[in-house]
Amino acid sequence: MEKFTTLTGIAAPMPLVNIDTDMIIPKQFLKTIKRSGLGKNLFDEMRFTQDGKEIPDFVLNQPAWRKAEIIVAGDNFGCGSSREHAPWALLDFGIRCVISTSFADIFYNNCFKNGILPIVMPEKVVKVLMEDARKGANARMTVDLEAQTVTTSDGQSFAFDVDPFRKHCLLNGLDDIGLTLEKVSAIDTFETGAAQSRPWV
Amino acid sequence: MSGKTLYDKIWDTHVVDTQDDGTCLLYIDRHLVHEVTSPQAFEGLRMAGRKVRAPEKTIAVPDHNVPTTPDRVKGIENEESRIQVEALDKNAKDFGINYYPVNDIRQGIVHIVGPEQGWTLPGMTVVCGDSHTATHGAFGALAHGIGTSEVEHVLATQTLIQKKSKNMKVEITGKLRPGVTAKDITLSVIGATGTAGGTGYVIEYMGEAIRDLSMEGRMTVCNMAIEGGARAGLIAPDEKTFEYVKGRPHAPKGAQWEAALTWWQTLRSDDDAHWDKVVTLKGEDIAPVVTWGTSPEDVLPITGVVPAPESFTGGKVEAARRSLDYMGLTPGTKLTDIRVDTVFIGSCTNGRIEDLRAAAAILKGKKIAPGIRAMVVPGSGLVRAQAEEEGLAQIFIDAGFEWRLAGCSMCLAMNPDQLSPGERCAATSNRNFEGRQGRGGRTHLMSPAMAAAAAVTGHLTDVREMMAEAV
């Protein structure tokens, strides 16, 4: 997994609430057996017409936000299906950070497994960041994971919370499976105990 | 110190390790696998030279991509779908996990197969790379969806890195009125709490109306816990649960059954347990409901009218405007005036035998309205066989429904069962998102009986009127 330390980039404003994972990556693109190459289909049905032409109004098709690396979104981003194809598509497009008032649980977890930082901010802060994002390519937002701050293009800084363990893994690009396998003896012990207490499992 | 919730008890039984910051390693008793969210996980194992730690606790079945037309025995035409299903065939074989291939009669939607085969048992932890894993909570199992990286983690370690959620109680008091079903309960709860109302929580559903539900109905309720944002939904096991589980192929037998039963009977929340959030609905207040928009929270009683976007607040105003535009609906339209093109009965929400019985009871001796496309997709090969045995299949066929083979089908339209742009569908599935059933497709969620009623009249219909006719 790629580390996430600091990021200074263009933020795309997506104020719509309940942006679900079917919107982020529609199901016809889930037939792949790979993790890569999904960026071209990110937000496919919002971004392209049925015959594959760009929809000019969609934020990521507008010149100012084509190279966005951050999304500032409405409430409950990533709801719906557990498909990890959603963060894979975001990452492949170049999005490393999503900021919203709330995220759906599974999507939120999936982000951390892929080097994407989801940031929860209060509504009034999201409003400020949304306005900053609307400035487009002339503005750059900065996200500092170590300091746990988001700074707007005009220097307003806002603190955010993040789980310490997840922060540690993201800062260092750590692989969860490797970490867990260091505890394999605890798993062995648990299994031995469970085989006694719940043998039917 | 207060007592424990059911969630607390199952959690405590499965903690392998706790870090100083509260992050836990949780042991996973059952890992269910399907073809869409697993190929990258198996590939990851291969690249790292890892094995599946507990193949005997891992169960795989292809469901999302499989065609449901009878010609599927000849193979899957769509190349990408075929490759994905073949990858699961190979991964199941290479890693030695339990497997129900496409043409096995036990094949079906993973969340229907698990309980049916007795893999899902009370007090277990159950995960799957699929958000509707919440279904298994109906057994008093802690069950939730995970991403593909976590699928790989569970395959390799049989554990999951987790932080504990908060406890939420959803109580449905009293009795349901005639024509009101488990689907109406679960949609009404989401209508009341919103799709983010459960975020950060594990829900336990309680109350007389929940106790009165069959296991099939309880699975419908828990299935949509995720639609309310919760990590999982739970219902404490009782005699109905034990009765359902007993004798299933992978349920414990003999002395182990007795030992299991003794423990299962302790699996309920203590009276003095602490709840971080409580929602109470009166069973008698719940009506047959439908969705009008593109979020499962867009729920109204069938007697209602399409709402005006201005009746909402905040970001929901714009979202409702977008939804109505997408759905092709005008505020003030009576919901019962909305005509449908297609009716879909099936999915992990409503693809079980009781669902087919409820729909068939409405359809018996009737025909679907002219021009309607209607299909029934049983949740598993065994549900299909039972429905044929009970004569339900014939009722559907006589009414004009297509009688399909098992799979996820039009719930998410990864197989050829899809809506065309603008096509409007009465669906018993779980998501009405934009494009969910096919690009531009318009989905109204409802119970199987309500979907059957819509098939007969050609528009959204209050099933109670049809029941009155029958009497």
Rg, chain A, Cα only: 19
Task: Please write the tens of the pLDDT for every residue from B77-99.
Answer: 999 999 999 999 999 999 999 99
> For B276, which DSSP code?
S
Q: What is the mean pLDDT of chain A?
A: 97
B330 touches chain A (CB under 8 A): no
Decide: A104 and A79 in contact? Cβ < 8 Å. Answer: yes
B18 touches chain A (CB under 8 A): no
Distance CA(B171)–CA(B185), nearest Å, equals 11
Contact assignment for B50 to A30 by CB distance below 8 Å? no
For an interface test with B, the pick among A1, A17, A179 (most B C-beta atoms closer than 10 Å) comes out as A17
Contact assignment for A15 to B315 by CB distance below 8 Å? yes
SS3 assignment, position B67:
coil
**Edge-to-edge strands of the sheet including B342-346?**
B402-403, B373-377, B342-346, B424-427, B442-445
Distance CA(B165)–CA(B78), nearest Å, equals 41
Q: How many CB pairs under 8 A join A and B?
A: 186
pLDDT at B116 over 80: yes
Helix A105-112 with A164-172: angle, nearest 10 deg: 40
B263 touches chain A (CB under 8 A): yes
Contact assignment for B316 to A17 by CB distance below 8 Å? yes
Contact assignment for A74 to B152 by CB distance below 8 Å? no
Contact assignment for A177 to B152 by CB distance below 8 Å? yes
Task: Please write the tens of the pLDDT for every residue from A137-172.
Answer: 889 999 999 999 999 999 999 999 999 999 999 999
* B329: nearest Cα among B321, B235, A63: B321
Q: Residue B371 region, left (φ>0) first, then alpha (ψ -120 to 50), else beta?
A: left
B23 touches chain A (CB under 8 A): yes
State the pLDDT at residue A175: 85
Decide: B180 and B146 in contact? Cβ < 8 Å. Answer: no
Contacts of A115 in chain B (CB under 8 A): none
* pLDDT confidence bin for B470, thresholds 50/70/90: low
For an interface test with A, the pick among B9, B14, B40, B294 (most A C-beta atoms closer than 10 Å) comes out as B40
* pLDDT confidence bin for B338, thresholds 50/70/90: very high
Q: Which residues of B362-400 are buried (b: 16+ CB within 10 A; e: fewer)?
A: bbbebebbeebbbbbbbbbbbbbebbeeeebbebbeebb
Contacting B residues, span 201-220, partner chain A, CB-CB under 8 Å: none
Task: Please write the tens of the pLDDT for every residue from B190-214.
Answer: 999 999 999 999 999 999 999 999 9
pLDDT at B153 over 60: yes
Decide: B382 and B248 in contact? Cβ < 8 Å. Answer: no
Contacts of A110 in chain B (CB under 8 A): 147, 149-150
Task: Please write the tens of the pLDDT for every residue from B446-468.
Answer: 999 999 999 999 999 999 999 87
Task: Please write the tens of the pLDDT for every residue from A168-179.
Answer: 999 999 989 999
Contacts of A57 in chain B (CB under 8 A): none
For an interface test with A, the pick among B157, B250, B263 (most A C-beta atoms closer than 10 Å) comes out as B157
Contact assignment for A163 to B23 by CB distance below 8 Å? yes
Q: Report which secondary-structure segment, H or E, holds A54.
A: none
